[in-house]
Amino acid sequence: MESNLEKVYDPSKVEDRLYKKWLDKNYFHAEADESKEPFTIVIPPPNITGQLHMGHALDNTLQDILIRYKRMQGYNTLWQPGTDHASIATEVKIVNQMAEEGITKKDIGREGFLERAWDWKEEYGGKIIEQLKKLGASCDWERERFTMDEGLSDAVLEVFLRLYEKGYIYRGAKIINWCPVCKTTISEAEVEHEEKQGKFWHIKYPIKGTDEFIQIATTRPETMLGDTAIAVHPEDERYAHLIGSKVILPLVNREIPIIADEYVDQEFGSGVVKITPAHDPNDFEVGSRHNLEQINVMNDDGTINEKGGKYQGLSRYDARKAIVKDLEDVDLLVKIEDHTHNVGMHDRCNTVIEPLIKMQWFLAMEELAKPAIEAYKKDELKFVPDRFGKVYLHWLENIRDWCISRQLWWGHRIPAYYCKDCNEFIVSKEKPAQCKCGSDQLHQDEDSLDTWFSSALWPFSTLGWPEQTKEFEHFYPTDVLVTGYDIIFFWVVRMVFSGLEHTGELPFNTVFIHGLVRDAQGRKMSKSLGNGIDPLEIIEQYGADSLRLTLVSGNAPGNDMRFHIEKVEANRNFANKIWNASRFILMNLEGKTVKAVNTSDLTQADKWILSKANHLAKDVTDNMDKFDLGVAVGKLYDFIWEEFCDWYIEMVKPRLYNDEDSTKDAALWTLKTVLVQSLKLLHPYMPFITEEIFSFVEDKEESIMIASWPTYKEEWDFEQDEKEIELIKQAVRGIRNVRAEMNVPPSKKAKVFVVTTKEDIQTIFEKAKVFFATLGYASEVVIQEDKKGIDNDAVSSVIPDATIFMPFAELIDVNKEVERLEKEKAKLEKELNRSNKMLSNESFVSKAPANKIEEEKAKLEKYKTMMKQVEERLDQLKNK
Which residues make up each annotated binding site for ATP?
527
Long-range contacts of 34-37 (CB under 8 A, 24+ apart): 34/474, 36/74, 36/75, 36/76, 37/74, 37/75, 37/76
Strands (E), 295-332: none
Q: Which stretches of 31-104 are DSSP H helices? A: 54-72, 87-100
Kindly provide the residue ranges of all beta strands, DSSP E only, lying in 106-186, ordered along the sequence: 145-146, 169-179, 184-186
Residue 589 is classified by DSSP as H
295 phi and psi, to 5 degrees? Answer: -115, 110
Measured CA to CA, the distance from residue 117 to residue 96 in angstroms comes to: 12
How far apart are alpha carbons 68 and 660 in whole angstroms? 43
Q: Do residues 572 and 527 lie in contact, with contact meaning Cβ atoms separated by under 8 Å?
A: no
Neighbours of 30 (CB within 10 A): 25
Residue (of 695, 709, 641, 639) closest to 68 by Cα position: 709
Q: Which amino acid is at 660?
A: E
**Residue 634 identity (one-letter amino acid):** G
- Per DSSP bridges, beta strands 382-384 and 510-514 are parallel
Binding-site residues sit at 527
- Distance from C-alpha of 17 to C-alpha of 24, rounded to nearest angstrom: 10
Distance in angstroms (rounded) separating the CA atoms of residues 168 and 173 = 16
The answer to whether 237 and 286 are in contact (CB under 8 A) is: no
Could you tell me the CA-to-CA distances from 389 to 393, 509, 510, 566, 631 in Å, in that order?
6, 12, 10, 34, 22
d(CA 365, CA 168): 8
The CA–CA distances, whole Å, from 2 to 11, 582, 673, 705 equal 21, 12, 16, 22
Whole-number Å distance between alpha carbons of 253 and 251: 6
Rg over alpha carbons for the chain, rounded to the nearest Å, is 36
Looking at residue 522, the DSSP 8-state letter turns out to be S
**Is the CA virtual torsion 29, 32, 35, 40 positive or negative?**
positive
Neighbours of 307 (CB within 10 A): 15
Q: How far apart, in whole angstroms, are the C-alpha atoms of residue 485 and residue 512?
A: 9
Question: 69, 16, 162, 134: which is closest to 705 by C-alpha?
Answer: 69
What is the rounded CA–CA span in Å between residue 740 and residue 861? 29
The alpha carbon dihedral of 190, 193, 196, 201 has a sign of positive
> Minimal CA–CA distance to 495: which of 461, 520, 526?
461
How many angstroms separate the CA atoms of 453 and 440, rounded?
30
Residue 245: burial class (beta carbons within 10 Å; 0-12, 13-18, 19+): middle
| Under 8 Å between Cβ of 516 and 484 | yes
Taking the C-alpha atoms of residue 210 and residue 138, their distance in angstroms, rounded to an integer, is 76
Q: How far apart are CA 285 and CA 306, in angstroms?
A: 25
Cis preceding linkage at 477, omega within 30: yes
Pairwise CA distance, residues 592 & 667, whole Å: 13
Report the alpha-carbon distance of residue 142 to residue 122 in Å, rounded: 17
ω into residue 371 within 30 of 0, thus cis?
no
Alpha-carbon gap, residue 819 to 833, rounded angstroms:
21
For residue 345, the SS3 value is: strand
